[in-house]
Amino acid sequence: MDEKLLVKFLSPIERATLPKLGLDFSDLEDVAKKTSQDRTTVLRAVGFLKNKGLIEMESSEKEVVSLGILGIYYLRKALPERVLLNKLVEKKAILISEIRNVCGLNDNEAKIALGTLKRKALVSIASGKLSLSAKPTEVTNKMLEELFLEKLPLELDLLEAQDKLALQNLKSRKDIVSVENQKKIGVRLTKLGEKISSMNLRKDLVEQLTPKMIKQNSWKGKEFRRYDLSLPVPKVYGGKRHFVNQAIDYAKSIWLEMGFKEMTGSKIDTGFWVFDTLFTAQDHPVREMQDTFYLKGMEGKLPTRCKKKEDCILFKTQQSHEGGIDGSKGWQYKWDEESAKKVLMRTHTTSLSARKLREIRDTKEFPAKYFAIGKCFRNETVDWSHGFEFNQTEGIVVDENANFRQLLGYLIQFYKKMGYEKIRIRPAYFAYTEPSLEVDVFHPVHKKWVELGGAGMFRPEVTIPMFGRHVPVLAWGQGFDRIITEFFGINDLREVYKNDINKLREMKFWRK
């Protein structure tokens, strides 16, 4: 670009900054003083100048020791140990119990002052009294800590031996000193910048056309500053929903389009609804504390026992576990109500399905289709594919004519709309469904098949206690967080809920 033309692109802050720079690196703080601009304005100006190739920048970090809030106060007044020392010079001796009142110190300051003077061997204690044992010169001379506070701020690497000792003593005391990383920025002119800075950087260019100028025709004959539309501009991050919530909203729309209604419920429930109604034996490993989060000191309520045993879900559930329901042998053990009353954080959203089935039994809503998307909690070892909390998408279809082929159809259609053209469906085992299946997808980074969730048709041991008879029910519970990781380019489930603001800003919108 022509040099004279380039001058017309310079903003007022660039024109004010450029002449104050040289071929040697200048500290940004010094440039701010020379230009009478604040640091932020100068930083913006040098950023513009760098984009135009007029300056070079270098940055370095250093650790700096500076005064804390109490450090500023004590520098102006006096350290607690100096206050106590001066009082001892005046009174010769002070009762230890009276230090706080006599010196006007709080409890913490009094303890620190006494401990510091004892450590420096400036005082002695006898019969509960504190007396001065320091030489006159030790009293009049400033302590290491006092001298150190007067020097601050200082670079950590440049501290002398006595300064390091003072820092060590003061760091154990709250808010007197702080050690912080400070970024130092240096700027200097390039050859092109040197040429431009020596030119006439006139400041009478018009920055913008205003309604007043148009109305009065005062813009005529004026020269406007040019704007380079090819230069990069700062990124603007608008507000947006968390990417997981975006995906959840989309998934909900899929189920709603397929005629499902949404079901919701508490994340806290009893073992009865989470496990027992789903024909999970009370000695099953998933019901142990190493797999499930139980709430200590809480006991849940179970459904009341009905007069008619055939209408009683509690009796029928007990019967299904112990054996003797519709030809089933059950688990052949004595079912315990107390175990069913235990309160826990739901390990799957299938507990919502269990409650909804009982509700459908009362409302006579046949056929019925329901879905849920919600948080589940398991005492898992956290790794790239497991977390102790995760979202699951749940679904049930209650219909006398429901069959396994329809179940496959619902799942294939859902995954297709979520962006998965190819999935692997394989036979599986679950305590409460038969037949059962699992859905997998191949992970391109970890080079292995990853399970997304299970599905099947509820067993009679689940449906008979609910309805009093067996009604076909299609059911599934899919790991929703795993489903969405491929779209967002997440290879580790631990990244989903880290809430790194930089990653959240860069995360793309859910678009399918």
pLDDT at 1: 65
Stretch 432-447: mean pLDDT, rounded? 87
- In this predicted structure, the answer to whether residue 342 has a pLDDT above a threshold of 90 is yes
* DSSP H or E segment with residue 27: strand 26-27
DSSP-assigned letter for residue 40: H
- Classify each residue of 329-354 as buried b or exposed e, where b means 16 or more C-beta atoms within 10 Å of its C-beta: ebbeeebeeeebebbbbbbbbbbbbb
Stretch 388-392: mean pLDDT, rounded? 90
| Helices 404-417 and 243-257: angle between axes, nearest 10 degrees | 140
pLDDT grade, residue 203 (50/70/90)? low
pLDDT at 232: 73
Considering 22-26, 237-241, 406-410, the range whose residues carry the highest mean pLDDT is 406-410
How far is the C-alpha of 413 from the C-alpha of 369, rounded, in Å? 15
What's the pTM? 0.62
Q: Percent of the chain beyond pLDDT 90?
A: 62
Tokens of 239: 């507000």
- In this predicted structure, the answer to whether residue 148 has a pLDDT above a threshold of 80 is yes
Stretch 134-148: mean pLDDT, rounded? 91
pLDDT in tens, 278-297: 999 999 888 888 789 999 99
Q: Percent of the chain beyond pLDDT 70?
A: 99
pLDDT in tens, 80-118: 999 999 999 998 899 999 999 999 999 999 999 999 999
- In this predicted structure, the answer to whether residue 374 has a pLDDT above a threshold of 80 is yes
pLDDT grade, residue 399 (50/70/90)? very high
Stretch 349-360: mean pLDDT, rounded? 95
Dump the DSSP string for 265-327. --SEEEHHHHTGGGT--TT-GGGSTTTS-EEEEEEPPPPPPPSSGGG-HHHHHHHHHHS-BTT
Report the DSSP beta bridge partners of residue 325.
Answer: 328
Where is average pLDDT lowest: 40-44, 99-103, 281-285, 508-512?
508-512
pLDDT in tens, 245-258: 999 999 999 999 99
- In this predicted structure, the answer to whether residue 67 has a pLDDT above a threshold of 70 is yes
- In this predicted structure, the answer to whether residue 512 has a pLDDT above a threshold of 80 is no
Rg (CA), the chain: 37
**pLDDT, the chain, mean:** 90
Where is average pLDDT lowest: 186-200, 254-268, 344-358?
186-200
The full set of domains in the chain, from first to last, is 3-60+182-203 (1.10.10.10), 67-180 (1.10.10.10), 245-268+343-506 (3.30.930.10)
- In this predicted structure, the answer to whether residue 211 has a pLDDT above a threshold of 70 is yes
